[in-house]
Amino acid sequence: MNETPLVVENLSFRYRDRQGAAIQSISFEAKPGEVLLIAGASGCGKTTLIRAINGLIPRSYKGEINGRVLVFGEEVKDWKLSQISQKIGTVLQDPERQILGTKVINEVAFGLENLGMPREEIFKRVDEALDFLKISDLRYRETFNLSGGEKQKVALAGVLAMRPSILLLDEPLASLDPASAQDTLDAVRALADQGLSVLMVEHRVEDVLRIHPERVMFMSEGGIRYLGDIAGLSKVVNYREVKISAEEIVERAKQDPAPAEIKVLPGAAGKGEKEALVKFENVAFGYDVEHEVLHGINLEINRGDVIAVLGPNGAGKTTFVKHAIGLLKPKSGRVLVDGHDTREASVAQIARTLGYVFQSPSHMLFAPTVHDELAFGPINMKHTKEQIELEVKEALKIVNLSEKENDPPLALSFGQQKRVSIAAILAMRSRILVMDEPTAGQDYQNYMNFMDSILQLPAFEAILFITHDVDLAAIYANRVLMVNDGRLVADGKPQDVLRDFDRLKANRLIPTSLLALNLKRLGATGRFMRAEALAHI
């Protein structure tokens, strides 16, 4: 048997329903015991490459394929999927599309049961995988009630239980809080050190560098632009494309013109500062009688607020936000939107005030084309035909997807789907924009561009976003809420809330290079800024 776990030779693929190749002329090898980081802009072909390696292309995704994928010297295209799954483990970008079991223990055991393994061996492997990822406490939980980050870990446990030789991770950190991301990266490093070949697609490059990946592949427009050691990466990439450390960005940005100043929420200006658009009054909630998820939440969302909601996986952040938009009703206490109790208002009525972008785009997208997806909300809100066309065009421009107007949303990459789901809410022109993990699956350039654009829209009077990205909160929010164990543990300006490193640690958040640099320069700046702007102070 050939000892090289993975060899990709001159691989190209074009999807049946799309123009142009998604990947072209890709050749590389993956060695035992190495972590190969794969980076690049959203839609550059990273996920397509993963699908071609794990056999989903051409089995689930049809199109024109050329070249070869060899696993231990044998061509994957001739293998059965059950054979592939024993050699190659894949964790998808969106765990919603991977989890089938109703209980965590069933989900992790699923692949092993399909292989007809003895019951004792299945339980042994399930326990080992859960212990390894430090999620044994989730064993009997229902998968439906898990947070996005918890689902991500369960999906990884299901793959590890199969004991593959090659591990493919597609944005494994996208839904994880910073401490969980660090735990996952440590686990990945340990697996590689035990001899696994790990290919990790990830936008959070700065985080991955901490575990010293042996090599990095930078992809652009379906091809490999760089393949080599980490040291060479920053020389070949634009600092706007890949998020490198704040110090490196500052050094490189000094040579460029200063970025334009962002005028935040012009729609909120001159309308009276302290007007409560949404009010939580002693709100408590639980999905079942025994288990309370939110405890006594009191707060107001005011006109002009740009709020970042931070906190660990499973802390109740999404549950809290779903109360603001009326998808969930309090068990006790009340939520007022524009002075109306959400218990008495329909979701459609609330949608005129609050537009909600779900964490998982697969929960939102259903229309045959991107245009129809964006037009759906405005049509239901009885906007005129001319108005709808203008709203759709503007929203597509903001999220940088104008050329995808006639594509089927579910044929796009996860990062592009995420932007379509954001554009669908932008097109509705709700007064408050609520986003759950808006930057998951986004490359650095896209997330900076669309956050810049969104904050300058006159349509919005307030914005609230759940994020695990401390830098996103530091750069864009004027108010930070920290939620843990269903309670509001902090509420204030970013420079007040984020300077307390002990509190960050207690809430599974990790100080970043940008946060450290901003705190160092706060005396001169008076506020938090992006690294590109700090370069010109």
Residue 376 has pLDDT above 60, yes or no: yes
Residue 179 has pLDDT above 60, yes or no: yes
520 occurs within a structural domain: no
Whether 220 and 272 share a structural domain: no
Whether 183 and 281 share a structural domain: no
How many folded domains does the chain comprise?
A: 2
Stretch among 58-62, 267-271, 490-494, 498-502 having the lowest mean pLDDT:
267-271
**Identity of the residue numbered 226:** Y
Whether 365 and 420 share a structural domain: yes
What are the tens digits of pLDDT across the range 277-293? 999 999 999 988 778 99
506 occurs within a structural domain: no
CA–CA dist 316, 428 (Å, integer): 27
Name the E strands within 236-305: 276-285, 294-302
Q: Which helix (H) or strand (E) holds 178?
A: helix 178-193
Whether 355 and 443 share a structural domain: yes
Whether 454 and 315 share a structural domain: yes
Rounded to two decimals, the pTM is: 0.82
257 occurs within a structural domain: no
CATH number, position 165: 3.40.50.300
- pLDDT at position 335 is 96
Name the E strands within 131-270: 166-170, 197-201, 215-220, 223-228
259 occurs within a structural domain: no
Q: Is the alpha carbon torsion for 450, 458, 537, 529 positive or negative? A: negative
451 occurs within a structural domain: yes
- pLDDT at position 452 is 86
Q: Which helix (H) or strand (E) holds 130?
A: helix 119-132
The whole domain housing 394 covers 266-494
Residue 259 has pLDDT above 60, yes or no: yes
504 occurs within a structural domain: no
Whether 318 and 360 share a structural domain: yes
Going by the DSSP 8-state scheme, the letter that residue 103 receives in this structure is: B
Residue 491 has pLDDT above 90, yes or no: yes
- pLDDT at position 521 is 94
516 occurs within a structural domain: no
Maximum Cα interatomic distance, the chain, rounded to a whole number of Å: 73
Whether 125 and 46 share a structural domain: yes
What are the tens digits of pLDDT across the range 7-34? 999 999 999 978 889 999 999 999 999 9
More confident residue, 260 or 73: 73
CA torsion 123→126→130→136, rounded to 10°? Answer: -30
Q: Encoding tokens for residue 19?
A: 């123009």
Whether 388 and 460 share a structural domain: yes
- pLDDT at position 274 is 64
125 occurs within a structural domain: yes
Residue 273 has pLDDT above 60, yes or no: no
